[in-house]
Amino acid sequence: MKRFLRAVALAAACLIILAAVPLTVSAAYENTHINTGNQPADLVAVAKTQLGYKEGANDYSKYGAAYNMANAPWCGFFVSWCARQAGIPKAVIPDSGAAKTFFSAGTYHARTSGYTPTVGDLILYGSLDEAEHVGIVERYDAATGRVYVLDGNWSDQVSNHYTTLSDSEVAGFVTPAYTSTMSEMGVYNMVVPKVIPVGGVFSISGFVASPHIISSVNITVADENGDTCLSQTASPNAETYELSALDAGLRFNDLDPGTYSYIVTATDTVGTKRWSYLFEVVGEVTFELTDAVLPTSVAKGGFFCVFGTVSSAETLKTVSVEVYNAAGTFCTGGTLSAGTTTFDIHRLDDYLAFDALSKGSYTLRITAQTANSRKVWESPFTVGDTMKQEFVFRAATVPSPVTAGQTVAAEGEVVSSHRITSLKATVTDKNGTAVKTASASPSSTTVLLGTAAVPTTGLAAGEYTLTLTASGAYGSAEKAYPFTVEAAEEPAVEFTLSGETVPTAIKVGGVFSVYGTVTASEALQEVTVLVTDTAGTACIRVTASPNATSYDLHKMDDDITFNTLSEGHYTYSIKAVTASAQTQWDYAFKVGNPAPLPEEPSTDGDLNGDGTVNMMDAMLLYGATSGGRDLTESESAAADLNGDGSVNMMDAALLYKAASGA
């Protein structure tokens, strides 16, 4: 039926309940229930997912549309649609839009027969001859005598209300020939507390279902020590029990802050099962709306994209974005389930038909609903001849400091109510002078800020500002970010000298061959071999320009004239220079003639102490200087023939010459 007319008293009671259902345009209203195999319980659970669905223009409903009768009265189609979603075959509940069809959809019980309705029964209004409306029994409350009903096309929407067995408008109830495929007892569609504010209420829901008779259901709230704080018990003696029947006796608002366990215990003829869930009672449930892009001025016939994030410490059940006119009448908008602590309102953008609004003043209302609290934000705007484009820079930061030569770019994104056609980045110095720019042409309502990145090549170390300017057809916005440029650290240059020959003592007029390789981790600009006397005066200087990372010192050998040095002490130096570093190696040596050997035998050169200088002494000294053996203290004293304070090959040569008579 289009709208079932009730007695005035009952109509008033129903309308009070209906007022709690938001009259928004229908969003998806998807069936989110997972079937359990308990057909009557599944039918009720599916119907509850549709609460709030409102018919469209010309009596349109998706339930009638499913049966190719989109604009027909749809209370019967709603029952049939829910049955198909619940996996109930047509042989149990038929496909029909006519209420009278359902009188024969099972065992009929007249209202006056004394029958007590149960979960999943069908309730029929009118009479056998003139059935006017059909709905689904959610549950029967024996304490109050109320029958809670879920039905479609009640005040043009899917609603829940209650009636009584004394209501003469009720013809009776039909129990379909349900079958069950459940194997064991379980809890379904249960909403459990997670975070409740001190003094806040919580409405329990869900049901226990079993293929066997359930004899007992208990809900207990226990504290961290396991002590019982709240408890309620029922004896269903049925295969299904709605937990909401115990709701009134559980005063969550009496709980102090802390952590609690929500425990459901059920017993059927097979055994007992227990389900436990932790939740918290906190001081306050807080809500926040951040990075919102909301209208202030919209041109008639124009569109507008909304953005923003709603967040709460408690899980969000639903979020609505709606537009009301100056008279408070709903114009456009929608509602979606959240199920998380954060929700992006841009998901509701498709439900907002700004282009259908007439000129005038409006209010955009955002409503966030949790199990225990509710928050509403309102933003006024006008529809007229002008359009203002809104922008928000979200999660936007600039890393600082930046090393000179690197690229500076903002992290995050900019979102806008209309397409962003240009994103420009400008770097200014501390005097406000623009020194670098970059730009992008994205053509999107959401743009990553990094698409306009600016290289800092050529910038000196110092303080700068990056200004981002986003522009579109109806306006622009900018945001500035200070940052610091640091000078790049010069990499350390590594030098090595290998295979070198170093003079220690040279005879006056003697020569010495220079060998060795100088290497560096960057190109060698200059390699110099230098000989200086004790006064620091350069006696020999030879320089090469390798322009390579290594250099062979022997290439200089012909130009290093050790034979021009007079007797004395000197320093032999090798200096390596690159573009950013330099190093030097220094070695001391002596130029002079060896002392002549005495004509008469003496202890000088007599290493073995036999009173003569002969080839035996020469062999001992050669063995020592070539690394074959170590000299004793007395042997070392006798071996230093040239008196330079060390024993070396020069001494060995002198001794060999004396011993051989050469």
454-477 pLDDT tens trace: 888 888 899 999 999 999 999 999
pLDDT at 19: 29
Count the residues in the chain: 662
Cα distances (Å, whole numbers) of residue 101 to 122, 163, 318, 570: 11, 22, 36, 123
393, 416 Cβ separation under 8 angstroms: no
Task: For residue 24, give the 3-state DSSP assignment.
Answer: coil
Residue 661: pLDDT above 70?
no
Residues forming CATH 1.10.1330.10 domain(s) in the chain: 596-662
The one-letter code for the residue type at 21 is V
pLDDT confidence tier of residue 628, bands split at 50, 70 and 90: low
**Percentage, residues of the chain above pLDDT 70:** 92
Q: Give, for 63, the enclosing helix (H) or strand (E).
A: helix 62-65
Topology of domain 495-591, per CATH?
Immunoglobulin-like (2.60.40)
Residue 217: pLDDT above 50?
yes
pLDDT at 662: 57
Mean pLDDT of 580-601: 75
Mean pLDDT of 577-599: 80
Identify the CA nearest to 189 among candidates 51, 45, 316, 314: 45
Identify the CA nearest to 427 among candidates 462, 378, 377, 380: 462
How many CB atoms neighbour CB 470 within 10 A?
25
Mean pLDDT of 47-60: 92
Comparing 563 with 2, the larger pLDDT belongs to: 563
When the pLDDT of each residue in the chain is averaged and rounded to a whole number, the result is: 87
* Residue 370 tokens, joined: 């949790």
Question: Check: CATH 1.10.1330.10 for 596-662?
Answer: yes
Q: Which residues pair with 464 in a beta bridge?
A: 429, 483
Q: Give, for 495, the enclosing helix (H) or strand (E).
A: strand 495-498
Edge-to-edge strand ranges of the sheet holding 122-126 = 107-110, 170-175, 122-126, 131-141, 146-154, 157-164
Range with lowest mean pLDDT among 101-105, 127-131, 339-343, 500-504: 127-131
pLDDT at 43: 94
* Residue 125 tokens, joined: 């209004």
Q: At what angle do helices 75-85 and 39-48 cross, to 10 degrees?
A: 120
The answer for residues whose C-beta is within 8 angstroms of residue 248's C-beta and 6 or more apart is none
- Residue for token pair 């040095």: 565
Side-chain-side CA neighbours of residue 352 (13 Å): 27
Question: Check: CATH 2.60.40.2550 for 392-486?
Answer: yes
- Convert the pLDDT of each residue in 536-560 to its tens digit: 899 999 999 999 999 999 999 999 9
Residue 601: pLDDT above 70?
no
CA atoms of 226 and 314, how far apart (whole Å) = 24
Task: For residue 168, give the 3-state DSSP assignment.
Answer: coil
Tell me the DSSP string of 280-302. Answer: EEES---EEEEEEE--SEEETT-
Range with lowest mean pLDDT among 194-198, 358-362, 475-479: 194-198
Query: Under CATH, which number does the domain 287-384 receive?
Result: 2.60.40.2550
Topology of domain 8-175, per CATH?
endopeptidase fold (from Nostoc punctiforme) (3.90.1720)
How many CB atoms neighbour CB 158 within 10 A?
28
CA atoms of 151 and 51, how far apart (whole Å) = 9
Mean pLDDT of 238-247: 89
The answer for residues whose C-beta is within 8 angstroms of residue 334's C-beta and 6 or more apart is 24, 25, 26, 27, 320, 321, 322, 348, 350, 351, 352
* Residue 237 tokens, joined: 């003696």
CA atoms of 189 and 41, how far apart (whole Å) = 10
pLDDT at 17: 27
Residues forming CATH 2.60.40.2550 domain(s) in the chain: 186-282, 287-384, 392-486, 495-591
* Residue 382 tokens, joined: 């006008």
At 588, give phi and psi (nearest 5°).
-90, 145
Topology of domain 186-282, per CATH?
Immunoglobulin-like (2.60.40)
pLDDT at 554: 93
- Residue for token pair 């396991």: 226
- Convert the pLDDT of each residue in 313-342 to its tens digit: 788 989 999 999 998 899 999 999 888 999
pLDDT at 644: 67
